[in-house]
């Protein structure tokens, strides 16, 4: 994927993940995948909500407290001194940053944090007993303001599938906003979808069909066209948020293989089919049949250019090796 001519991809990130000693005990949670790998591709925007609202370091830890087990509303209170309540400050800071950071293409947050955690943050009762899980106060409010923005926890990025899915969404988000820098036309919108069609297929057949129907009659007025474009982007990001399964990848590979059916020699065709089957059964990773497929598509210039331009073939930088394990 060539992003050299595009604007930098800006990603929000919890400051502790970048190695800043901002945690309650003056430590950090440096994530080497972020600092050593992703920093080559992204421009990180580090934030620590707790430090930003005036809590120093070291400091008393905060935790999320509900009035009772049935109450899903939480307050961010001091773990030692429950009279310390920073819920409103964290919420207001999230709203402020959500307004200011509209150019982000994604956000990586610290897991289990009462301010930044997206999944499984412990929720407590006033008596100190743990009762269920919730989202961190800052993360909840920021996500509510940008519900389609790719957001993930650093800990979950250790999962190969979730890591690849997050990166797919980040690059799609960024390319869409680059696309919007030029006035939307029906032709440009159709061209965008033409390139993303098989990537959507690999993630959601339901959206693959509904997005095609949406674009079938985009309307003649600019206002109508912009409405269609907005709905299209909502469906695109919703579709890509669904991790692609091995079954869906296999289906997509087979569809793309169809563009070569009259071009490959019998032995080449057999080899590609066997590698796709080996991927389906879990013997080889996705990169194996995908590499051979791309080789044949590029080698046969007479192959349909529609297949060669598919974002599915290169949804993120190849050097990241994200499809070596999925």
- For residues 245 and 24, what is the distance between their CA atoms, to the nearest angstrom? 39
Q: What pLDDT is stored for residue 86 in this prediction?
A: 98
- Report the percentage of the chain scoring pLDDT > 90: 91
Nearest 10 degrees: Cα torsion 213, 217, 223, 227: 0
The CA-based angle 143-145-150, given to 5 degrees, is: 45
Confidence of residue 4 (pLDDT cuts 50, 70, 90): very low
Q: E strand or H helix at 233, and its extent?
A: helix 222-240
pLDDT of 159 above 80: yes
Residue pLDDT, tens place only, 217-234: 766 678 889 999 999 999
- For residues 120 and 316, what is the distance between their CA atoms, to the nearest angstrom? 28
pLDDT of 1 above 60: no
Q: What pLDDT is stored for residue 97 in this prediction?
A: 98
Distances in whole angstroms, Cα of residue 92 to Cα of each of 6, 49, 96, 242: 32, 10, 6, 30
Q: What pLDDT is stored for residue 117 in this prediction?
A: 98
Cβ distance 243 to 203 under 8 Å?
yes
Mean pLDDT taken over the chain = 95
């Amino acid at each position: 994927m060539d992003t050299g001519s595009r604007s930098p991809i800006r990603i929000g990130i919890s400051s502790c993940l970048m190695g800043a000693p901002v945690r309650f005990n003056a430590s950090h949670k440096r994530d080497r995948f972020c600092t050593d790998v992703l920093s080559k591709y992204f421009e990180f925007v580090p934030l620590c909500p707790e430090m930003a609202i005036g809590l120093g370091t070291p400091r008393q830890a905060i935790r999320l407290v509900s009035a009772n087990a049935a109450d899903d509303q939480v307050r961010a209170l001091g773990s030692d001194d429950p009279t310390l309540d920073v819920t409103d400050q964290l919420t207001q800071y999230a709203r402020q940053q959500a307004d200011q950071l509209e150019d982000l293409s994604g956000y990586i947050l610290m897991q289990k944090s009462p301010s930044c955690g997206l999944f499984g943050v412990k929720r407590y009762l006033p008596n100190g007993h743990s009762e269920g899980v919730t989202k961190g106060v800052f993360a909840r409010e920021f996500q509510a303001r940008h519900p389609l923005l790719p957001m993930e926890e650093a800990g979950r990025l250790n999962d190969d599938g979730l890591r690849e899915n997050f990166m797919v969404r980040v690059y799609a988000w960024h390319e869409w906003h680059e696309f919007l820098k030029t006035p939307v036309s029906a032709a440009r919108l159709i061209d965008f979808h033409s390139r993303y069609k098989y990537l959507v297929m690999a993630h959601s057949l339901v959206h693959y069909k509904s997005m095609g129907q949406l674009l079938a009659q985009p309307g003649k007025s600019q206002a109508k066209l912009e409405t269609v474009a907005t709905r299209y982007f909502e469906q695109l990001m919703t579709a890509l948020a669904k991790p692609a399964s091995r079954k869906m990848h296999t289906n997509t590979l087979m569809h793309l293989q169809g563009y070569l059916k009259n071009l490959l020699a019998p032995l080449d065709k057999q080899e590609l089919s066997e590698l796709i089957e080996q991927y389906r059964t879990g013997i080889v990773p996705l990169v194996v049949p995908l590499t051979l497929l791309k080789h044949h598509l590029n080698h046969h210039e007479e192959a349909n250019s529609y297949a060669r331009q598919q974002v599915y073939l290169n949804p993120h930088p190849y050097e990241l090796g994200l499809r070596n394990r999925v």
